[in-house]
Structure formats: structure tokens, C-alpha cells
Structure 1
Amino acid sequence: MPAAPVLLAVVSLRRESPLSVATVALITGIDGQDGYYLSRLLLKQGYEVHGFALRPEQSQLGEEVSLHPFDLRQPATLGDLFGKIQPDEVYHLAAQSHVARSYEHPLETAEITGLGALHMLEASRQWQLQRGRPVRFFQASSSAIFDDKAGPVLNEESPIHPRSPYACAKAYAHLQVRNYREAHGMFACNGILFNHESPLRDASFVTRKITRAAARIKLGLQQKLKLGNLDAERSWGFAGDFVEAMGLMLQQDEPDDYVISTTETHSVREFVETVFAYLDRDYRDHVEIDPELFRPHDAPVLRGDITRARTRLHWEPKVSFRQLAEMMIEHDLEQEA
């Protein structure tokens, strides 16, 4: 994984393990942006960190993280892996997270994003029964599960009405976490994550697609950038801020679900304009609109109400929209040079 600014504040994950041994964390999807930032945070806190990755031999996370090859579609080895790793905390981040791909591959999306979460929950429950001590579980839920007609500001009690195969799979996982919490008494939390980005975001996502193309245009390596709906608005935060909330959720006395979001929204057009202006370019000279890139259903303007996270976790985002855009373009300028 290429170098990227970490910019993680020192948050205290206060709960201590029995006998003062290091807390063992297992992170699925550790090879994604959230997995990278979360692993750095937990290592700073003295955790022993393990991760599931599809291709661990390609990872650049470093020797501090113990990686294990694992595919959520092949869960037969989960019991043995849990016995080997012996996790105290499980952070389930892995998913097929591309909305457009979910329309093309709905079965794959359901299997990985929906059933994959259930496999991890049940493995955590079985490991908890085996060792006789609680296992704390975090699920990376999504704002996509909500009814986008419920209002511009959404909280933990907003109605669930997913509108894509990806969102349906995330909603299934979200409800299974609630079910395991209520039926089995597990310490299981949903982090209902709104859009969050970083220099490590996959280039197939629109923000990184923009910053990477803008860097290449600045360096004379590319001339045009094709985009879809420039008027779509999102609440974009920094992944490094969001993983702090993940860690804090599993240190509370009682499990619950938390909306994690910024408190403002911006359009794709604003993001493009901010990035190109930083490079002293006019985006209108380089951006072309491609109708093929419009989504079948594009959510209206939505942002999260973080009252619960602010009150109970004492969490709120730190990196601003402009700082995020500039962080990403600086990274891509360095990578493309």
C-alpha cells in the first residue's frame, strides 16, 4: 500500500484486557483504506493486530500486522482461524462496496456483503462460547441502508429502505448485528458510516478518480476526465477520523449503533472545483459529462446526525472538506510524478 498521511489524533481506547495482556484485534478488509487507518490506530494503542486479506502477499501494511488469507465466500476455516488468532475485538470492514458493481453482480454482493457479515458474527459468537469471555464486534454499516426520502438529516432511528443491491446487503448485515445483540447478548455495534475518503481510496470511487485524474492532467499525462452527475451531493469525511469512532464504540459499557458522518454536504462539482483550483486549473476545461456514468438511483442530499456519537463517544470529525481534497491531490501528485 503506498505511503499516505495518517493524521490520526491520539484517542484513548481505555478498556483493558484481562491480566493486562495486549488486546487482540481482528480486522477483515484490512487491505482497504479503513483497514489501513484502523490498524495504525490500534497498533499505536498497543494492540496485537491481525487481518484477513484476499491477497496478503501483496500487502504493504508491515510486519507489525499478522495477515491471514481469507475469502468471505469460503467460511469453512473461520473456526480454526478464530482459535488461532483468539481475538478480543472483531472489526468487520470487508464488503463488495461498489454500488454500480452491485447492480451487475447482485448475488456476489449479497454473498460477500450480507452473508459475509453473518459468517463473522456467528464465528465470533462461537469463539465467545468457547473461551468463556465476551468478544466485541464492530460492523461497518452504511448510510445507504436508509430511506433517502426520510429527510436530509438521518440518525440511528431513521427508517431503513435500501435502494440498491449493495444497500440491501448492508441492511441485512446491519439487522443481523442487532439480532445477535438482542438474541445472544453479544457486544455488537453498527457504525453507520456516511461517505469517507482518503489518499488510499480505491481509484474507482469518484473522489479518488477525480484527484488522480487531476494530478495526471497537471503533469501532462492526461487531458480529459469523464464524470457523471456533478450535482450529486455527499457528506464526505476523512477515513482516519472515522476509524477513531470505530475503536471508541467497542470501548463503551454497552453496545449500540452510531451514525458517523460529517455535519455538512458538498456536491461532486464542488469537489472537482476545489481540486482543480488547488492546481490553478479550471475544471471546465477538462471535465466531460458521460451519461453512462449516471447511477440508476442517485440519493438526494443526505448527511448524518452525530448527536449520539458526539455525546457518548465524544467524537466528531476533525479534517475539513478542503483539507481532505488537498490531502488527496497532494498524494496523487506525488504518486504520479
Structure 2
Amino acid sequence: MKKALITGVNGQDGSYLAEYLVSYGYHVVGGLRSGTNRKDHSHNIKGIEFVDIDFTSQAKINELLLAVKPTEIYNFAAYSSGLGMFDDPTGIAEINGVSVARILEGIVSIDSNIKFCQASSSEMFGFVDESPQSEVTRFNPRTPYGAAKLYAHNMVNIYRKHYGVFACSAILYNHESPRRSLKFVTRKIVNAAVSIKYKVTDKLTLDALDVKRDWGFSEDYVRAMHLMLQHHQADDYVIASGIAHTVRDVCQIAFDHIGLDYRKFVEVAQSSSRAPETLVLVGDSSKARETLGWEPSLEFADLIRMMVDAEMKIFN
């Protein structure tokens, strides 16, 4: 039986991957930071074992690997990529960056046969020179979050090439689901639409409507990460839909789905000074599609409608 250690299992991606791997017969061990309430984050997945992880200690990570003996590790542990990308830069560097080096060092020290997949981010591209972006596009992060993710991404490459570790990076573009936090604009819009429908609130204020992003479905993206570790050769892959949509598109689809005209309820903050983007963060995932046979299963509009339906159930 394969055994997977999933760090950050309490998040959107970690929970979807845990469900997916359990369905394939894996023994799944979910890693949580000490003090996390495990009952709140199981998403009713049966058969998951939970362990505490101290990402600040090399010795503790080594002890964990010795105890768990995973065949695969998927790392989702990170500070949020939502509104907090500038919050606590040193903490972000520690958890999003240095802790990845510690896990990789633990693999080399404890069992070099362990396969590792890092959840990298399109935020590493930052101020982009070209669009769409691929695995060979130059990185130029513009936030502490993106910079820390880039450090981790580089360490994955170093440990793969220098130490021979089967280590991969999934360069993930924006991916959503009903489990997305309210810190993120898609869930914020969906929640507001349903709140307005039920007259809990009467308007939604956003910073901008014409910002474009490449949005996909979380469950599709973690499936790609699993495919990466089943391939015969470790490598890095852009995981993206390849299609950019605006925040306005999210509003229109979400409000239309419940019979409302978003233009009557959504306004742009007068204090917003968001600079226009000359080039859009949109991913070229042709390498993953051709090499791994990966394809997204859910279209953007269907994803937003699914999120609205899930939000309606919460209100009901």
C-alpha cells in the first residue's frame, strides 16, 4: 500500500487530494501545524491519520519521516496566497520557503526513495514579461509570498539535480472550489451573491472588476500533482486552464445563476488605486497535457455555478 504524507491537509487542496488518494487505496497521513483542531478539517474523509508537524525544526521533520515512512509527500503547507501575501514576510519565508528545504533534506537523510511534490505558484512569475507563461518563462516575483515560493521551487530543482531526489514542482495557477476561503475573491463574490439573495446584505464592494486571472478547479489541480509523482521522470509543470477571465465574469456568472443582475449590487471601491496590468497571468499547461495526459474536468462557468450551489446549501 502506498502511503502519502500531505502537509496542509486542512486546506482546500490538501482535503481534495486526501479524498482522491483514499479512493485509490492510499494510506493517507495528514500533516497539521501543532494546535490545529483536527475535527474541523477532516471534510468527513474516512481513514486519514493526522500528525503534527513542526516546520521550524530539521530534527522534528526527520523524526516525522522516520515515524510515518511515506512513499510520497505532497506539500501544501504555506501562508495564504490571498490578501496576506505581504503579511509577515519573515514568517512567509520560513514556512513557504525554508521549510521545503528542510523536508527535502529530510528525504535525503531518511529515505531518498520518497517522492516529493511541491505546490508552487504562478505568483513566482510576478511582473511577467510574456503571456501565457510556461515552465521556461522568467520568474520575477512581486510579493514576499511569491519570493518564498520561488526559493522553495529552486530548492526542488537543486535537490532533484544534485541529490537525485524524485522532486517535482506544480506551478499552480488560481484554483477554486466550494472549500475556498472567504479571503479569496471568487468565494467572496459567491458568498456575497447568496447573501444578497437572502437579504442578509445589500451590496458587494470590490477593488476592481476588470482584473484577469486564470482560474481552475482545485480537484483537477491536485489530480495533476498525483500524476506528476506517477510519471517515470521527475519534472516541473505549469498547471492552469490556459484561459483568463475577469472578476466581472465571476460576478456575472454567480449573480446570474441565482437570478440577479450583478450591476445593481456590485460596486468598485472609490479608494481603489489598483494599477492596470499590461500582461496577464495565464498559464500554458501544454507540457502537463502532453506528458502526463492531464486535462481539466470542469469549465470556469460550471465551477462558479458549483460554488454558488454549495453556498446556497450553507444558507439553507
Query: Shorter-chain TM-score: which interval?
Result: over 0.9
Alignment-derived partner of residue 259 in structure 1: 238
Verify: 1:60 aligned to 2:35, yes or no.
no
| CA shift for structure 1 position 169 | 0.5
Verify: 1:175 aligned to 2:154, yes or no.
yes
3-state SS of the aligned residue for 1:43? Answer: helix
Number of residue pairs matched?
Answer: 312
Letter paired with 2:63: D
Q: Is the 8 Å Cα contact of residues 100 and 295 (structure 1) preserved in structure 2?
A: no
Which residue of 52, 56, 60 maps to 1:69? 52
2:181 and 2:56 map into 1 onto residues whose CA distance is: 22
3-state SS of the aligned residue for 2:73? Answer: strand
Aligned ranges for residues 27-38 of structure 1 at < 5 Å? 27-38=6-17
Aligned ranges for residues 69-148 of structure 1 at < 5 Å? 69-129=52-112, 134-148=113-127
Which residue of 185, 204, 211 maps to 1:225? 204
Q: Normalization by structure 2: what TM-score?
A: 0.94
3-state SS of the aligned residue for 1:259? Answer: strand
2:42 and 2:169 map into 1 onto residues whose CA distance is: 28
3-state SS of the aligned residue for 1:139? Answer: strand
1:118 and 1:241 map into 2 onto residues whose CA distance is: 27
2:147 and 2:278 map into 1 onto residues whose CA distance is: 14
3-state SS of the aligned residue for 1:103? Answer: coil
| CA shift for structure 1 position 221 | 1.1
Letter paired with 1:194: Y
3-state SS of the aligned residue for 1:199? Answer: coil
| CA shift for structure 1 position 147 | 5.0
Q: Which stretch of the first structure deviates more once superposed, 195-204 or 92-101?
A: 92-101
Cα distance change of structure 1 residues 155 and 272 upon mapping to structure 2, 3 Å threshold = same
Letter paired with 1:108: G
Alignment-derived partner of residue 253 in structure 2: 274
Cα distance change of structure 1 residues 293 and 73 upon mapping to structure 2, 3 Å threshold = farther
Cα distance change of structure 1 residues 113 and 220 upon mapping to structure 2, 3 Å threshold = same
Q: Is the 8 Å Cα contact of residues 54 and 60 (structure 2) preserved in structure 1?
A: no
Q: Is the 8 Å Cα contact of residues 141 and 170 (structure 1) preserved in structure 2?
A: yes
Q: Is the 8 Å Cα contact of residues 90 and 136 (structure 1) preserved in structure 2?
A: yes
1:65 and 1:112 map into 2 onto residues whose CA distance is: 23
Deviations 1:265-292 (A, max 9, x none): 1000111111011111111221122255
| CA shift for structure 1 position 115 | 1.1
Q: Is the 8 Å Cα contact of residues 213 and 244 (structure 2) preserved in structure 1?
A: yes
Q: Normalization by structure 1: what TM-score?
A: 0.88
Alignment-derived partner of residue 208 in structure 1: 187
2:188 and 2:220 map into 1 onto residues whose CA distance is: 21
Alignment-derived partner of residue 50 in structure 1: 29
Cα distance change of structure 1 residues 156 and 207 upon mapping to structure 2, 3 Å threshold = same
Q: Is the 8 Å Cα contact of residues 147 and 159 (structure 1) preserved in structure 2?
A: no
2:289 and 2:181 map into 1 onto residues whose CA distance is: 29
Q: Is the 8 Å Cα contact of residues 23 and 47 (structure 1) preserved in structure 2?
A: yes
Alignment-derived partner of residue 234 in structure 1: 213
Structure 2 unmatched runs, 5+: none
Structure 1 unmatched runs, 5+: 1-21
Letter paired with 1:138: C
Q: Is the 8 Å Cα contact of residues 309 and 315 (structure 1) preserved in structure 2?
A: yes
Q: Is the 8 Å Cα contact of residues 125 and 186 (structure 1) preserved in structure 2?
A: yes
- Taking only aligned residues, the RMSD between alpha carbons, in angstroms, comes to 1.8
Letter paired with 2:40: Q
Q: Which stretch of the first structure deviates more once superposed, 53-62 or 137-146?
A: 53-62
